[in-house]
Every structure is written in C-alpha cells, then in structure tokens.
Structure 1
Amino acid sequence: MSTKIFGHRGSAGTHPENTMISFKEAARVGADGIELDIQMTKDGVIVVIHDETVNRTTNGENKGWVKDFTLNQLKKMDVSYKFKDKYGTCSIPTLDEVFDWAKSNELLINVEFKTGLVSYRGIEEKTLKMIHDYRIEDRIVLSSFNHYSLVKCRRLSRTIDLAILYMEGLYEPWKYAKRLRTNGIHPYHQTINKEIIEESKRNGIAVRPFTVNDEKKMKQFIDFGCSAIITDYPKKAKALLK
C-alpha cells in the first residue's frame, strides 16, 4: 500500500495556512488528504486556525485568544498571513465550511484538536456530531497532542480513527497507541526511525510523521513504508511518489 500524502494546513508552504484556498490547492495537486487545526469561538462555533491566539496569522492590529472572539469578529480578520501580496484577503474558515466543501471531493481529513492550552468545552462532541451529520466518518482522522481529547473521542465513538500526536521520543509508541485505543501515531518526523515504523505497522498502528518538507526525508519515509506523510508541500511529495 503506497504512502498517502496529507497537505499540512492545506498547502501551507505555498498558500496561507488553514484557509480554503490552501485546502483547495492541496486537492488540486493531488494530495490524498489535508490536515487542519480547530479551536472554538466565544459563541461556540468550531473554526479552523492553528494558534490559540490570532496574533501570528492575522494581519492588522488583531491580538488575543480565539476563544474570546465571536465568529462574526473572527470572520472580519484577514488570515492571508505572509501571502497577502500573492492571494489577497483570506478569512478564517469554520469546520462546517470545510466539511461542506469536502462533499465535492474524496479527500481524507485529519482534524487536530488544539486543546492543549485551552479547554474548549464540548469541542469533541460537536466535532463528532458534525462528522456524523456529514456522513464522512470513514474519511476522518482525529489527532491531538492532548491525549485526553482522544480518550474522550474513543468513549464517544468506537469506530472513529484516532491518532496520537507527539514531539519527543516515545518508547514503543505502538503500545501506547493501543493502550489509548487509538489507530495511529503522528510523531514529529525526527523522533522515529525504520524500526518504529515497521513495528507500529506490524501492530496495526498507522504512522504519519509531520511536518516532512525535505525531499530526501520524504523519500526515506516513503521507502520505509509510512502510512502517510504530512507536509507543507503536497505537490512536491506527490511528484516524488510518481
């Protein structure tokens, strides 16, 4: 089974991260899936943005926590980030918008819960309900650095695909993944090797390292038989696969 390519925050190396044009670019270049990050607004809407604050990716004088803004306030912000001159103004998408667009394609969607710093009440339940309502459970992978969120998701759904995110070296990560009743590991790419990949897969645990942007590293992970790689440059990765 060939390695799948997930566009990290869409095609974040070439387009404004976590925006609809970034996701559409990943689809255009033939990515198998996209990865995105979710937070929740003051009025309880799930939005797609990486940081817990709007400080880095929004242009202008916007400062503060995503949780302290309403959806209407967030929608007025420009998240074209460093690509404004190239693509113009971009808005923060809702998860609902992304799922609605996903009806037009067959992309896999890796949804990352950003629940490490902010405890968004009910975000797991809301996300799972939305996935159920759109009938796309077989296209979804839920991941998080906050493994409590994943345990909660497993209690809510016996079948949803879950993956643990981690940054440091983890001893026998496939065993930890199994103990949490998750299906995959999403390790920082420098923390794994061929043995970990092979042993994880032997134990039925998918391996999708992030964020793999170096072509030599991409090729290595493809040769090692990774289930997928998560990259800012899906076009480059797809070209290597061919």
Structure 2
Amino acid sequence: MTKIFAHRGASGQYPENTMLAFEKGIEAGADGIELDVQLTKDGRIVVIHDERLDRTTSLKGFVKDTVYNVIKTANAAAGYDQTYRDIKVPLLEDVLLWADKKDFLINIELKNSVIRYEGMEEKVLEAVKRFNIEERIILSTFNHESLALCARLAPHIERAALTSDVLYQADQYITSIPASGYHPKLNSPGTADEVLKKMRNSSIKVRPYTVNRPEDMKRLFEAGADGIFTDFPAKALALLKNK
C-alpha cells in the first residue's frame, strides 16, 4: 500500500513546516510527515524550507546569518491572514518531541545543496538518536555527498536520494551511495511512472514529490509507488481508500 507523506505538513491548507501543519497532516491520517531543516547562525536546527526567511516568515535575510533567538520571534505564517499570527518556526527537536510518543514516519530533508552547512549531518543524527526514533526516520537530500556521509555515520537510518531530473541507471546509482530510497520530482506525466517501472525489480523505495493532482495520485497508486509526498494528505487518503 502506498504511504502518504504530508509534504511540509498539510501545507496545502496550513502554513508550511509548522507544528500546526504537521499536526493537521497526522490528524488527516497521513503515514508520515516531510520537513526541511537549515542551520541558524548559532547552529540550531530549524524547520524551514528556504535558505532565506523572506517567503514564509515576517523576517528577512538568510537563516544562516540569523540567530535562533531572533528567528523564534518571527511569524512563520507570512501570507496568511491574522488567524495564524502566533505560528512560530519550530526547531527540529520541537517536532521530534511531539512525534516521540506517536507512531508515524518522519522524512527529514537536509537543505544543504545550496548552502553546505558544516556539521549538519552530525547535528541532525544526534537529535534523532536522542529521541531514540531512528527506525521511523528517512533522511533525504539533493546533496548526495551528504547522503553518503549519513550512510557512514548512521548506516541503520534509512536514506533517500532526492532528484529533480531523470537519473541514468538509477538503481545502480542509488545503491552506490548507498541509499535505499529514491524521491524523484513529478515532472511531466509519465516521468515517475517510468521510474517505477524500472525500479520494479529492485528493493529501492520510490516516493515521488510533490503529488497534488488527483489524476497523478491515482496513477501512482495504481503503478505501485511506495509513497508519495503531497500538500493535501486528506485528499490523497480519500482517493487511496476508494482505489
């Protein structure tokens, strides 16, 4: 059965990468959540997608140039109405503390392909180990050197290669990292389907992103995708139930 991941939480309806969006994703019945991490100027792991604060928060500038005590004053629901004025940028440890007593998967995307955050892998792994939930974690990144480092530091934690384009001999490449998951971008119709066909005889888990249209969801369910990342987990789950 295809697993449904709430992409940045239930971000189609709630401010992305916030505790509210994650809670709503799990309330909708998602099998897991996906979140993005960056490092602040003082080395804290914050959950935010962009390298800059501008799009999703009330602050401006780079995450890497801003200390956490400043970031925690920001409204993390920029672009939303006043209903969400008290939404904060969470720390990774806030999410893990909330998830600790629950039972769902957590895909942590390391946002280190634009800015190569020194020591990010060690910091994230230390946080995951502190909460003793390694078996529920998937580490993913577009930076495959970083993925290889994670394999050396914590071989028992699942790893997945993110790509925005088609890989040649993807199964061999991903195995060489080594990783056991492949998260391809849902580009044009058929791209992810081709990947699924090629991977059918491998043990690599294919989970395309970001799958928001009902027709794409249905097609990927039928093609046997191991998972999908969607901004609308409730919609995906309703379709999966009626498959």
Report the TM-score, using the length of structure 1 for normalisation: 0.95
The aligned residue for residue 99 of structure 2 is 102
Shift of the alpha carbon at 1:201? 4.0
Q: Percent identity?
A: 44
SS state at 1:177 partner: helix
Asked whether the equivalents of residues 172 and 196 of structure 1 are also in contact (C-alpha less than 8 Å), the reply is no
User: Aligned ranges for residues 1-242 of structure 1 at < 5 Å?
Assistant: 2-59=1-58, 62-190=59-187, 192-242=191-241
User: Which whole-Å CA distance do the structure 1 matches of 2:192 and 2:28 have between them?
Assistant: 28
User: Which whole-Å CA distance do the structure 2 matches of 1:76 and 1:193 have between them?
Assistant: 40
Q: Which residues of structure 2 form unaligned runs of 5+?
A: none
Task: Tell me which amino acid in the other structure corresponds to 1:27.
Answer: I
Shift of the alpha carbon at 1:157? 1.3
Task: Tell me which amino acid in the other structure corresponds to 2:5.
Answer: F
SS state at 2:33 partner: strand
Q: Which residues of structure 1 form unaligned runs of 5+?
A: none
Task: Tell me which amino acid in the other structure corresponds to 1:209.
Answer: P
Shift of the alpha carbon at 1:196? 2.1
Shift of the alpha carbon at 1:141? 0.4
Q: Could you give the per-residue CA deviations for residues 69-90 of structure 1, whole angstroms, max 9, x where no partner exists?
A: 1111000011112223343321
Report the TM-score, using the length of structure 2 for normalisation: 0.95
SS state at 2:115 partner: coil
Root mean square deviation of aligned Cα: 1.2
Asked whether the equivalents of residues 201 and 207 of structure 1 are also in contact (C-alpha less than 8 Å), the reply is no
User: Which whole-Å CA distance do the structure 1 matches of 2:195 and 2:47 have between them?
Assistant: 31
Q: Could you give the per-residue CA deviations for residues 109-151 of structure 1, whole angstroms, max 9, x where no partner exists?
A: 0000000121211110011111111111110000001111101
User: Which whole-Å CA distance do the structure 2 matches of 1:235 and 1:210 have between them?
Assistant: 16
SS state at 1:189 partner: coil
